[in-house]
Amino acid sequence: MSRPIYLDCHATTPVDERVLRTMLPYFTEQFGNPASVTHLYGWEAEAAVKRAREGLAEAIGAVPEEIVFTSGATEANNLAIKGAAEAYLSKGRHIITVETEHNAVLDPCRYLQSLGFEITILPVQADGLLDLDQLEKAIRLDTVLVSVMAANNEIGVLQPLAAIGALCHRSNVLFHTDAAQAIGKIPLNVQTMQIDLMSLTAHKIYGPKGIGALYVRRRNPRVQLAAQLHGGGHERGRRSGTLYPPQIVGFAEAVRLGVREMEAESKRIRQLRDRLWQKLQTLEGIHLNGHPTQRLPGNLNLSIEGVDGQALLLGLQPFVAVSSGSACTSANIEPSHVLQALGRSPDLAYASIRFGIGRWNTPDEMDWVAERVIETVRSLRSTTAGSSFNFSGIESL
C-alpha cells in the first residue's frame, strides 16, 4: 500500500470531493467579500454565505440569525464560555463543566478561574457518562453556564443532551455544548434538546479546516454574549473578521451531506467498528473505554494491558494511521485526562489506542488492521521482561 490506512477520523477527515466542488468557484470566480455591498462580486459572496447560514441552521433546528461563523470549534467554545461569563456578570461567576471535556473548554474555564470565577468540574461515571443528579446538585443561584460536550473526542461517549438541557432550563442556567464531533453524525436539534449555545466545526465531517460556527439562541431565552474579537462588527457584532465564503460554503455542504446520509452511513460505520472490535477480542487484557453503546458509531477506544501505547503506535507505523487520544494534546507525555477520569490506571491510560473509522474505510481494512494490531501487541509483549501479565478480562461492546 502506498499510504497508511487512515483510522484517525476524530482528529480530522479528508474533504469530500462533493464538498470541494461546491467550494472551488468561490476561490477564483465568485471571490468577493461578503461585506462589499456595492457591486456584483460582494452580492454573490453575500448570497452564498446567506444560503450556507440557512443550511446550517436548518440542520440543527435553528434560524439563520442564530449562526455565528468562527474559525473553528475552539474559537466557538471560547466565545461561548468567555462571552457568556462576561455578559452575565451581574448574575454570578459560577460555571459548571465536566472533567472529560476537550481542552478548548477546560482551558477557557481555567482562564476565567484566574480572573476570579468559580469553576465546578464534575466527574463522570466509569462509562464516561455524566451523573445528572450530581449536575443538579452542583447548580447554584449564581451559576451562569453549564458546558457539556455532545460527543467525546477520545472515547466517543454521547451525553444525554436533552436531559441536560431540560435541567438547565428549569434552573434558569444557560446550556452550552461542544458538538464538534457530533454534527452530521448524530441527530442534533437545539429546540428539542434545549441547547442555548452550540459549537460546531467542519473538518470532523469531511469539510475544510479553519471554519466553524457557534449557535446562539435568540429567544426563550435570548442569549447575550460579549464579543471576544473586535474590529468591524461582523456577525451582528459578535465576531469581527472578514467572512471566508469558500470555507463557509464547504462547511454547509459537508453538514448537508452528513445529515442526509447519516442513517445509512452510521449503520455501515458501526458495522465496521464492531467487526474490528470482534477481531481484536482474541487478545487478552483488552479494555473498552467508554459506554459500550452510547457512543459515536465510528469510535473504538481501547486500553491494552502489557504494552506501552507509544510503542504500539510506532509498531503500527507506517501501515496504520491512528492515535492514542486527542490530536490537540498528542505531544503531551501525560496520560489522557479523559481515560483517567474513567478510573483507568496511568498504565492503562498510557496503553490506549483510539480508532476513528470514517466514510471511506472498508471491511478488508478492518480485517487487515486487526491482524496488524494483534501481531504488534503479541510481539511487544514477548519482548517485555517478565511478560506474565495478570489479565483482567475483556469487556463487551
Domains of the chain, by residue range, sit at 5-12+262-383, 17-260
Q: Please report, to the nearest 10 degrees, the dihedral formed by the alpha carbons of residues 168, 174, 175, 178 taken in order.
A: -160
Residue-level pLDDT at 383: 85
- Write down the mean pLDDT value for the chain: 94
Per-residue pLDDT for 237 more than 90?
A: no
Question: Any catalytic annotation for residue 328?
Answer: yes
Residue-level pLDDT at 309: 86
pTM above 0.85, yes or no: yes
CATH for 5-12+262-383 is: 3.90.1150.10
Q: Is 267 helix (H, G, I), strand (E, B) or coil?
A: helix
Identity of the residue numbered 7: L
pLDDT band at 395 (very low <50, low <70, confident <90, very high): low
Per-residue buried b or exposed e for 267-296, using 16+ beta carbons within 10 Å of the residue's own CB: ebbbebbebbbebbbebbbbbbbbbeeebb
Decide which of 3.40.640.10, 3.30.70.270, 2.40.70.10, 1.10.3720.10 is the CATH code for 17-260.
3.40.640.10
Per-residue pLDDT for 150 more than 70?
A: yes
Per-residue pLDDT for 283 more than 80?
A: yes
pLDDT band at 240 (very low <50, low <70, confident <90, very high): confident
Query: Which of 98-107, 161-170, 223-232 is least confident?
Result: 223-232
**Per-residue model confidence as pLDDT tens digits over 317-340:** 999 999 986 555 455 567 899 999
In whole angstroms, how large is the CA radius of gyration of the chain?
22
Per-residue pLDDT for 187 more than 90?
A: yes
**Per-residue model confidence as pLDDT tens digits over 65-121:** 999 999 999 999 999 999 999 999 999 999 999 999 999 999 999 999 999 999 999
How far apart, in whole angstroms, are the C-alpha atoms of residue 205 and residue 380? 35
Annotated active-site residue in 9, 109, 168, 328 = 328
